[in-house]
Structures are given as C-alpha cells and as structure tokens.
Amino acid sequence: MARNMCKSAKEYLDTLSHLCHTIDHQAIDALANRLLQTWRENRQVFVYGNGGSACTSSHFVIELLLTSGMDKAKGLRAISLPDNVGVLTALANDTSYDKIFYYPLVSYAQPGDVAIVISGSGNSPNVLMATQWAKDNGLFIVALTGFNGGKLKDLADLHIHIPNDNYGIIEDLHMSIGHIVGQVLHHAIAAETAK
C-alpha cells in the first residue's frame, strides 16, 4: 500500500496536530462508555492488529487492564491477541497466517464481548477473517483505522478513523486513543467503586 512520509519534524508535527482536531472525540467517548459497560458485565475485550498495530494492541491492553483498574478496582478483562508468540507462530505455520486471530477468538470469545481491531489499512486478511467471525458471533466491533478505513470499516459497530496515509501518524493517534480511553475508564470505574 502506498504511504506518505514526512520530510521534516515540523511537517510531521503539524500533520499530527491538525489531525488531533479532526478525530471524532465523541466516538472515543462512546468507546470508553462501551468498555465501562463491558467492565460492569464482567465481559472480555480482545485487541488485535499486525505489525505496529500489534504493538499498539499490547499497549492498549495495558491501558485497559492497569490504568482503568488502579486504586484497588478490578481492571477490565482485556487480552492482546498478538502477544502470545508461540500461539501466533504455531497457527501461522500449521494453519495459515490468515487465521492467527481467528482461532483465539473462536476459543475464548462469547457473545457480548468486544473486539477492538487496529489496522492502518483496514484490509489485512487475518484481521478481516477474525473480525467477520466476531461480528457473526455477537461481539461488538470497534475498528481503529487510517487511510480510507478499508473493508474493516464496514464490519465495525464503532469506527474511529484517522484520515491520513502516514502509518507513523496513524499509529501515534491510535496509541493516543488507548491512553485516552484508559484514563476516562479509570475515572468512571473509580467513581462507581467509591459508591
């Protein structure tokens, strides 16, 4: 996929700053509210993506598990599917790379759980296969995308889009969304557990 690359720090930071003002903050708040409900119902959240988005998935789960649950409150039950290298490589080798997220979802997910799918292009076959299964089996789908959202945007119940074609900037803002959601959840959970 063709991608844009900035020529200077100023260009990068100016683009990042501009995009911060175009992101749908109400969609981010809607994600936090959905995850608060997921926490209340003791359901699970599955986060996944490839490459840089796999790393963002891991960090996103830190925010959901630890940041949301500090101060003695129980954190959100969140799992980053790319984190188990043994499972990923076994599935890629023994089945196909397209099924590395699909199999764990089939094994662990229940209707009412949440899948947070992070993809710059929105078109990775392994992400699409797992997300189609999740949608067909009653999970709430949250897609964080860039570029034009790809095919993934059509599977999402909640789509948070970064309208840009620079992977670094897209990934920076996806990571920021994880930080925002973790902090919003922290305050909401703290308020509920203080009652």
What pLDDT, on a 0 to 100 scale, did the predictor assign at position 72?
Answer: 66
pLDDT digits (tens, 9 = 90+) for 115-174: 999 999 999 999 999 999 999 999 999 999 999 999 999 999 999 999 999 999 999 999
Buried residues in 51-68 as b, exposed as e (16+ CB within 10 A): ebbbbbbbbbbebbbebb
Confidence grade of residue 32 (pLDDT, cut at 50, 70, 90): very high
Instruction: Please give the C-alpha separations between residue 182 and each of 69, 79, 119, 185, in angstroms, as whole numbers.
Output: 9, 14, 19, 5
Least confident of 57-61, 65-69, 171-175: 65-69
Q: Is the pLDDT of residue 71 over 80?
A: no
Between 177 and 65, the more confident residue is 177
Q: Is the pLDDT of residue 194 over 90?
A: no
Q: Is the pLDDT of residue 1 over 60?
A: no
Average pLDDT, stretch 61-90? 87
Domains of the chain listed by start with CATH number: 36-189 (3.40.50.10490)
What pLDDT, on a 0 to 100 scale, did the predictor assign at position 61?
Answer: 96
C-alpha 97/C-alpha 117 separation (Å) is 16
Instruction: Please give the C-alpha separations between residue 186 and each of 27, 32, 143, in angstroms, as whole numbers.
Output: 18, 10, 22
What pLDDT, on a 0 to 100 scale, did the predictor assign at position 70?
Answer: 67
pTM value is: 0.95
Q: Is the pLDDT of residue 110 over 60?
A: yes
Least confident of 20-29, 64-73, 140-149, 155-164: 64-73
What pLDDT, on a 0 to 100 scale, did the predictor assign at position 2?
Answer: 64
> Percent of the chain at pLDDT above 90?
87
